[in-house]
Structure formats: structure tokens, C-alpha cells
Structure 1
Amino acid sequence: MTDVAHTPRVFSGIKPSGGLTLGNYLGAIKRFVETQGQGMDTIYCVVDLHAITVWQDPADLRNATREVAAGYLASGIDPDQSVLFNQSQVSAHAELGWLFNCVARLGWMNRMTQFKEKAGKNAEKQSLGLYAYPSLMAADILLYHATHVPVGEDQKQHVELTRDIAAKFNHDYKADGFFPMPEPVIEGPATRVMNLRDGTKKMSKSGESDMERINMTDDAATIAKKFKKARTDPAPLPETYKELSERPEARNLVDIYASLSDTSAEAVVTEYAGAGWGQFKPALADLAVSKLSPISEEMDRLMKDPAEIDRILGKGADRAREIANPILERTYDIVGMVRSTGA
């Protein structure tokens, strides 16, 4: 097989384990919306198979899956422009994931830092799925021959693994260019939103205090309260963004303001140079409320009609299968699996 040209195509997904946070919105969904209609196919997924690498209550998982879908829709993902679905409705993800389990090397998996972080000292008690999920993530991407993957900085390693798997498959099966080399897309001032109480930690759905994060379901009063009470340091905002390098809480709030206002962090610092937090945090709170309240209100409306969310996800799954199944079938053929045809 000779080198083949691949349609420019974006794939990315969000795991439905707990509620959506501002980190999910600024680090992922907002950029998904901006990519939509820019001349590339856009495929966005609720990766529910990844969620069960750790125990999920079934009722909570259903609710969280619908909430992520509602977050996509409320933020501006158009299911007529983009393919929007939940992963488990397209069985080709799991099938290609198994093939890639047989391509990926143990040494590669052992280098994955996220497993080490999540497993901690109890690695032997974790599920095999938690260890192996990066190969399923590679399948998620390559199943659609995606060329671009919007990710946060902490997910870049997984895209690099995806490239390794694609390269090894193409080489081993003499299928040059069959799977593309996807590029991670990491851009913007808040690709990694940090904890409002500790600027050295990522904002997380599982943090101990609800004041650490902005939930996408928070109402206007709660959003304002959390930003006004966010941890900062005593010094005012400096003249240059570079001066925030050793001030993680201050840098995080500036990054959030920049992303919400569609400007650069440098421009925000220039505008507020010398200002104290008594001036900056209320301005940030007002900005956040104006941008996020319409989304939380629309999410609330959508969540009251779960049948409509399910209908949209089902329609998206049909479209996803139309792209994925021929690629999976061709993969099976390349590997040497017998594929019966006819009656």
C-alpha cells in the first residue's frame, strides 16, 4: 500500500466521570466549538468506555454521559455540523482497541505517566483497563483516521503513543500511510485550568472542596462567589505576564480571564497592570458569569429532556459508524482476518 492522503479531521473526547468543570470547557469544549466549521471534519465523543476503567455507579454514569453531551450542545457544538456521540454506541472503538493492544508494547505503556499518577501506590489493585486505556484512546483517534487532536498539555503523551502505534502498525503490516500521524493541537491561554485553591494542581471534578472548581452547572451567584474567594497572593498584578511565572494562583486567574475574553494573557496583564485583586477578581467574576451562565442554563434545560439528548447521541453514533466501520473492516483485512461476504 502506498502513502495515502487523509481528509483533515478532528477527533477528541471527554470522559463522563463526575460533572463538567471550567477546565473541561476552556481546555476542550470551547476549542471544539471554535474548530467547528473551519474546513475540517469534526468528531466529538463522550468516552464512556474510558470512564469505567474505575468503578462507576451505572445510574451516575448515565447521568454524567448525558451531562457531558448537554455541555457540548449548550456550548455551541452543532450536531448537524459535527458528529457527536457516546463511544459505547460504536463497537468499532473496542474492536480496534483490542487490535492495538496487540500492537502496543508493554514498555510504551509503562512510560504512561497518567497511570502512575492515578494508580499511585495501589497499582496492583487497579483494573487492567486503567493500565491499557491509552491503546483504546489511540483506537478512538485512528478509527476515524483523525489528523488533529485538540488536547490539554497533560494528554500530549497519549497522542505521541497514538503516533507510535500508527507507525508500528503501518510498518509491521506494510501498510504505509494507512493510519495517519495525528497532530496534538495545544493552544490558547488556558489549556490547563488550575485549582482555585491551589494553583499548582489541575482543576478536578474529584477535588475535596467544591470551592476548588467552577462546575459548568453552577449558577451565576455561585460562579461569582467562587472567583471572589479564589486564592491569590498579596502582590498586585505585574507589568508583564512573565513576572507571574512563580505566582501560580495569580497566573491561573489571568489565564482564565484571557480565555474567557478571547484575548492573550499578556493583554490582560497590560490592561490590569498594578491592579489589586479587589479590582481584578470582581471583573473576572462578572466576565465568567456573562460567558458561563447561558451555558449552565441551557444545560439545565437539556438535562430535563434526556430522551432528546439520547436521540442526538444515537443519530451521531449512526454517522460515526458510517466513517468508522469501513476503516475497521480494512484494518481487519490488512491484519489477515477472514471476512465472510454474501449469504
Structure 2
Amino acid sequence: MFLRVNRVPSILRSSKDPLRALRKSNSTLSAPPANNESAVRPRTIFSGIQPTGIPHLGNYLGALSNWVKLQNDNPQDKLIFSIVGWHALTLPQNPKELSASRRDMLAVLLAIGIDPKRSIVFHQDSNAMHTELAWILSCITPTGKLRRMTSWKTRLAESRNANDESEVDESLLNAGLLTYPVLQAADILLYQATHVPVGEDQRQHLELSRDIADSFNRTFKGSSRMFPLPTALITPAKRILSLKDPSSKMSKSAVDPASRILLTDSAAQITAKVRAAVTDSIASGVTYDPAARPGTSNLLAILAACADEDVQQVAERCTGMSHGELKAEVASAIESLVARPRAEFHRIRADPGFLDQVAREGATAAREVSARTMVQVRARIGLI
């Protein structure tokens, strides 16, 4: 099957020498700011999320709310948010469910406050230049580096446990699981991103992206560096744990649906899930002690995150409560937080024409930016 030809940006259509025109009109793309200018130059911020179902409360408080904050608090920056469908294919997908999940995720991003007039928001899989650049970068990335990635080691360990064997051949895992960090690097570098919001579990992937960018710059030299080395943008992240197993993060892949609160859960569902959350048998009131009382502490952390307060102050305020009273307080706080985006989601999701328009315009804007990068990349490697 052939990939659809992407729309060619106007700057390419109107010039007999597109490379020269691109360099003239947008030369700053290929040159990172000097150290003394970095503080005043706008940043290009890129981040992505997989279309793997409705996000849960942990996703929202841990990452998505920070996207909205970055958008609203930094008017000088360019922000690019992508729903990374290509990455979802590293695991088996039901085509109909994946198609619905793509729309769900776009509707969620719009519902929580991502503004398509302010930020570029689009489906990664609508821009084939992601996979084109990923292939080019994979040709300069040693497999040894990819095998040292924690994500690959984790998948290999999970495969071994699933097969109940001490040794499992790597051939049981698909190549996409090994190479998807290169695609992740391509996602970032394609837009000349200078900053990437990351959590601790993604730092290794960003370091690989920096290594790949540096390798390309040194291998294919020009008058200036092709890619800036993306910087980790550490944003405040609330770590929300499972309601059923407070030793692990809240997860969409957990077997028990009561372990997580989805952004589309009704008030009744939220109340039921919080009421059934694991706490402890200590009868001396409510205290914040993650080691000794992980379940209770997780509820306090959720309450503090929803109210954007310090968890210790929240714990002091709740000292005299019973667990039942604490759970009622937590359920009320969650409902207050998600009621508006939940209503917005249902409104937006019911308008497929609007979603298609946002997706189409976002993809066009993304291709306009990425085409400039790819013309320069092709010229550097000799394919233009």
C-alpha cells in the first residue's frame, strides 16, 4: 500500500528553487539560538499522546493539564501537540476501536482547553513525514542503543514472564517495539522542537533524541546545525496511583476498571469508584504517610491535586475525618474538576464534522512546518 502524498506547502509550490526559498524565508529553523539569546527567543514545544482510550485522572493531572498551562501562560511559544497513532501500532489494535480512540483523544484535548487557534493539534499519522524522517534517523542509530532502552528491556522481560521461560528469543517481539524511540525522536526533530515536556519515565527517550540529533548534525554538516538539541521541560506533575493498588500508577491498561477514574466518568461512577478505593484499617483518623498508609495517602494526594493545594496542608485539614468522609470529599473534588471538560467532550464528540475540520487544519499546519525541515534534511543527505 502506498502512503498518501502530503499537501505541498505554498512556499514550495511558488518557487523554482524550493530549497533556496526555504533557507531565505525560514533560515532560523536550522540554527539553534545562541546561548545569550535563548532566554528571549520563543520556544518550540512538542508533545504527544497515544490514542489508547479516554484519558484517566492521572493522565490529566500528570500531563494534560500542564499542556493547557503551557499554552495559556506562554503566548510567545509555538506549541505542537500530536495524537501519535503510529506509536499505537506497536501493540495489537482493533481497527474500529483505534479509529474511535483517535477521535476520542482529539475531543478530549479540545475539551480540556487545547485551543487549535493557538496550538497546532493534529494526528501524527496524517503526516507521513514522521515516518520518512524516522527511517532516515534509524539509518544512523545503532541497534545497541535501542536494546539498552528501558522500554525494550521491559517488553522483553514481560514477554519472558508471559512465556514462563528464563530465556526468550527477541524475535518474539515486533521490530516496532525496538525502533519506536527513533520514531519518537523524529516526532520531536521534525518540528525543530527546542523543548519537550517529560516525566521521569521519558527522560531516557529524550536523551536518545538528543543523541540522534547530535549524530545527524555531525554526520551531515552544513553552514549551521540542522537540529537543535531538545531540552527537557520539567513541569509539575501529580503522581496519581491506582485506586485498587496504590503501589502502582493509575493506568488505562489495568484489568480492574474501578482502579481508575476516566475523564468521562459520571458523578455516580466517580463516587462509586472512590468509595471502593483501597485505604487501610488504621482507626486513628486520616494522615498522610505514603509508606505506611499508601491508599489513604493516595486519596489525600488526589484531593490536593484537584484543589491545586499542598498535600500536607490538605492532610492537616482532613485529620479529624473518617475514611468515609475523606472519600466523599475526594469524590466531590474530582467531580468539580472534570464536570466542565466532561460536558465539553460529549458536546464536541457529537460533532464529527467539527472534529474532522480541526484534524484537517491541524494536519495542514503540521505539514507546513515539517516540510521545511524535510527539504533541508533531504538536501543534507543528498536526496534532493
**Aligned AA (2:276):** K
Letter in 2 for 1:12: S
Structure 1 residue 267 and structure 2 residue 313: aligned?
yes
- 1:121 maps to 2:155: no
Amino acid at match of 1:288: I
- 1:57 maps to which residue? 94
Cα distance per residue 1:278-311 (max 9 Å; x no partner): 2322111101001112212221222222222121
Choose from 63, 68, 76 the match for 1:28: 63
1:155 maps to amino acid: Q
Whether 2:201 is the aligned partner of 1:154: answer yes
What is the match of residue 215 of structure 1? Answer: 262
Q: Write the distance in 2 (CA, Å) between the matches of 1:251 and 1:180.
A: 41
Runs of 5+ unmatched residues, structure 1: none
- Residue of structure 2 equivalent to 1:104: 141
Cα deviation, 1:240-264, whole Å, max 9, x if unaligned, reads x6x4345433343333222221223
Look up the match of 1:329.
375
Please tell me whether the aligned partners of residues 63 and 237 of structure 2 are also in contact (alpha carbons under 8 angstroms): no
Could you say if the C-alpha distance between residues 104 and 258 of structure 1 is closer, same or farther in structure 2, counting changes exceeding 3 Å?
farther
Q: How does 1:115-194 map to 2 (within 5 A)?
A: 115-119=152-156, 120-121=158-159, 123-175=170-222, 177-190=225-238, 192-194=239-241
Whole-angstrom distance in 1 between the partners of 2:159 and 2:274: 34
Candidates 326, 329, 337, aligned match of 1:283: 329
Confirm or deny: 8 A CA contact 1:188 1:259 kept in the other structure. Answer: no
The question of 1:86 aligning with 2:114 is answered no
Secondary structure of 2:281's aligned partner: coil
Provide the identity percentage: 37
Indicate the residue corresponding to 1:17 in structure 2. Answer: 52
Task: Report deviation, 1:221.
Answer: 0.8
TM-score (norm 2): 0.81
> Aligned equivalents of 2:227 and 2:134: distance in 1?
14
CA distance in 1, matches of 2:84, 2:328: 36
Q: Distance in 1 between matches of 2:237 and 2:31?
A: 36
Give the secondary structure class of the aligned counterpart of 2:122.
Answer: strand
Instruction: Give distance in 2, aligned partners of 1:189 and 1:93.
Output: 28
Taking a change above 3 Å as real, the CA distance of residues 187 and 273 of structure 1, as seen in their structure-2 partners, is: farther
Code of the residue aligned with 1:58 in structure 2: it is P
Relative to structure 1, is the Cα distance of residues 245 and 35 closer, same or farther in structure 2, using a 3 angstrom cutoff?
farther
CA distance in 2, matches of 1:255, 1:246: 15
Task: Show the 5 A alignment for 1:242-253.
Answer: 243-253=289-299
- Aligned partners of 1:248, 1:112: CA distance in 2, in Å? 30
Give the CA RMSD over aligned residues: 2.1
Task: Read off the aligned partner of 1:21 and give its amino acid letter.
Answer: H
Q: Cα distance, 1:336 vs. partner?
A: 2.2
Q: Which amino acid aligns with 1:225?
A: A
Partner of 2:362: 316
> Which shows bigger deviation, 22-31 or 85-94?
22-31
Q: 1:197 aligns with which of 218, 240, 244?
A: 244
Q: Which runs of 5+ in 2 are unaligned?
A: 1-26, 34-40, 161-169
Query: After the TM superposition, which of the residue ranges 208-217 and 118-127 deviates more from structure 2?
Result: 118-127
* C-alpha distance 95-246 of structure 1, shift in aligned 2 (>3 A): farther
- Structure 2 distance, partners of 1:254, 1:151, is 24
Matched residue type, 1:181? L
Name the CA distance, whole Å, in 2 between partners of 1:186 and 1:250.
27
1:4 corresponds to: 32
Which residue identity is paired with 2:227? F
- Structure of higher CA gyration radius: 2
Q: Kindly provide the amino acid, as one letter, of the partner of residue 103 in structure 1.
A: I
Conserved in 2, the CA contact under 8 Å of 1:79 and 1:312? yes
In structure 1, C-alpha distance between the alignment counterparts of 2:139 and 2:377, rounded to whole Å = 13
State the shift of 1:136 in Å: 0.4
Greater shift in the superposed pair: 171-180 or 222-231: 171-180
Contact kept, 8 Å, 2:242 with 2:250, in 1: the verdict is yes
- SS of 1:149's equivalent in the other structure is strand
In the TM superposition, what is the alpha-carbon distance from 1:67 to its structure 2 partner?
0.5
Deviation digits for residues 210-259 of structure 1 (CA, Å, limit 9, x no counterpart): 10111122111101211222112234443xx6x43454333433332222
- Residues 142-195 of structure 1, C-alpha deviations (whole Å, 9 max, x = no match): 1111122123322222111111111221222235543122222333251x4321
- The residue that corresponds to 2:37 in the other structure is none
- Cα gap change, 1:237 to 1:107, in 2 (>3 Å): farther
**One-letter identity of the residue aligned with 2:185:** A
Distance 1:306 1:147 in 2: 33
- How far, CA to CA, are the matches of 1:290 and 1:99 in structure 2? 47
The residue aligned with 2:20 is none
1:251–1:104 distance in 2 versus 1, CA, 3 Å: farther
Distance 1:333 1:262 in 2: 49
Output one character per residue of 1:9-62: Cα deviation in whole Å (capped at 9) or x when no partner.
Answer: 111111012332122211221111111031311111110010111121111111
**Bigger shift: residues 137-146 or 292-301:** 292-301
